[in-house]
Structure 1
């Protein structure tokens, strides 16, 4: 059953599910450590796991490739997989190769993304022979593989660093779905009310596809602040105050952070419109488990 079909079934039967995201480590030892975590975390029975495109967004980096990791998660650990695929630094030939390897590895789901500009570039530009927008990548995958791959795309309830007009971003999201995508995973957020308002705006615009909240656990204060700044997202004052009060105590930050994020998830689930959570694990196990324990 496809992700979007499971999520529609969840809605009908009020059943909760969740998924985990991992990135490809840059060393062989890091890859081995991650496989051990994936093996332990599969006992949590995620609906699927997804793997980012080579951690840095370009092919060939790291001790292993995204497609190798996807194939192993699928064939060795028995997990349904979703593979990230970005336009950044990707020629059509490279994308063709990645899709073929995903196909051979048993992957049936692609998260199609434009991706971020390389650090050395001031603005995002397509690679010669590549794609300019995620919607173009979605259409290409759909034209080449018909309905074999289910395709997910990204949503931005907090706005995008390059665009803060919610209506325009939602219009672009609708274009990606109309091109052939069937579900949406959002950027991380901590302002649950803003997320819920964004969901209402999407529905009012005619978007009916499942909208999956992207949940980022809080493992330590410094990394939390870096991500908030980098993604330009809002943190409610009461949320921030509770973390600020314990910021010099790492164990307390983990405890308070887990409780705050769990409460945010509970608010989403109890409304009865969304029953799936997508965890950005950052290749860590305990923070995600801690939130699930509270739920």
Structure 2
């Protein structure tokens, strides 16, 4: 079912993000996680796409298995910067042929192992161009989502620039957005206010990253420009080598973050699971009574 249609009905969305594993052991772990999280009846799940198209086949395999074997509503991430338009159209046609109708359209990062990388001739260099390509060739078949950055994309000089280019993606045909992870809700609320002032009215779903490995998330945050609150750093640093204590603090913080977002009208919650279920299950259990209930098929 198309995510845009679901959100237009006013359904509160709970969704989970996975990445394609590198080996059979990782794939087994992933599908155990998916089966556990399936019990929460997510609105949709999504599968990431590696820098430079490096996980093209693995992403497609996981998306297909979730769709055909697990029966969950699934969205495929698709990055465009390293593909020709013909390659992108082949990927999209393949997804259409297997029944996938949700795409997260992304520019994608430059491959870290290719410092001299240049987009191929005629490539979509930005996410807005991919959104336009999808709409031009597939009309309304796909429900198209895009990324948004409450603290600004690392390459953005300011939030005015950020909003201007976000609006271009919406005007090109994006129906909803999922944010980059953030840990201070003020950034999200300020971003939504800027969107409203710019007449951007699509649902913007907060991306939630439970901190279960402080060193790892701190690295992620520094790469994407997400601010970890100083008080949380001070709680985490003394126990960063104690996985259980880090996870306990991280889950408690994520619960409070989600409760605040729920009370302030967020249209959904998108959990970055890192292919594990425990933290997400704990958070969901703590907030489930606050989640608005509306019949998807009403």
Is structure 2 residue 270 aligned with structure 1 residue 278? yes
Structure 2 unaligned runs (5+)?
Answer: 288-298
Tell me by how many angstroms 1:294 deviates: 1.8
Is structure 2 residue 53 aligned with structure 1 residue 58? yes
Is structure 2 residue 43 aligned with structure 1 residue 47? yes
Report if aligned partners of 2:131, 2:174 keep a CA contact under 8 Å in 1.
yes
- Distance in 2 between the 1:224 and 1:20 partners? 17
Provide the secondary structure at the position in 2 that maps to 1:95.
helix
RMSD, matched Cα = 1.8
The correspondence for 1:269, drawn from 262, 265, 268, is 262
Residue-pair matches, total: 287
Provide the secondary structure at the position in 2 that maps to 1:82.
strand
Tell me by how many angstroms 1:135 deviates: 0.6
Report if aligned partners of 1:57, 1:89 keep a CA contact under 8 Å in 2.
yes
Is structure 2 residue 225 aligned with structure 1 residue 229? no
- Distance in 2 between the 1:124 and 1:185 partners? 27
- Distance in 2 between the 1:114 and 1:247 partners? 33
Report if aligned partners of 1:67, 1:105 keep a CA contact under 8 Å in 2.
no
Which moves more between the two structures, 181-190 or 24-33?
24-33
| TM-score, L = length of structure 2 | 0.91
After superposition, what is the alpha-carbon deviation per residue over 1:146-179, rounded to whole angstroms, capped at 9, x for unaligned?
1000100010111111113111111101000101
Q: Aligned residue for 1:206? A: 199
The correspondence for 2:23, drawn from 21, 27, 42, is 27
- Distance in 2 between the 1:176 and 1:167 partners? 15
Tell me by how many angstroms 1:59 deviates: 4.4
The correspondence for 1:187, drawn from 180, 192, 196, is 180
Instruction: Check 1:264–1:42 CA distance in 2 against 1; reply closer, same or farther (3 A cut).
Output: same
Provide the secondary structure at the position in 1 that maps to 2:271.
strand
The 5-angstrom pairing of residues 136-151 of structure 1 reads 136-151=129-144
Q: Aligned residue for 2:281? A: 289
| TM-score, L = length of structure 1 | 0.91
- Distance in 2 between the 1:247 and 1:116 partners? 28
Provide the secondary structure at the position in 2 that maps to 1:164.
coil
- Distance in 1 between the 2:52 and 2:42 partners? 25
Provide the secondary structure at the position in 1 that maps to 2:53.
coil
Is structure 2 residue 152 aligned with structure 1 residue 156? no
Tell me by how many angstroms 1:83 deviates: 0.6
Instruction: Check 1:6–1:123 CA distance in 2 against 1; reply closer, same or farther (3 A cut).
Output: farther
After superposition, what is the alpha-carbon deviation per residue over 1:163-209, rounded to whole angstroms, capped at 9, x for unaligned?
13111111101000101110011111111111111111111111000
Which moves more between the two structures, 117-126 or 81-90?
117-126
Instruction: Check 1:284–1:86 CA distance in 2 against 1; reply closer, same or farther (3 A cut).
Output: same
Which moves more between the two structures, 236-245 or 161-170?
236-245
Report if aligned partners of 1:75, 1:106 keep a CA contact under 8 Å in 2.
no
Tell me by how many angstroms 1:112 deviates: 0.3
Report if aligned partners of 2:80, 2:127 keep a CA contact under 8 Å in 1.
yes
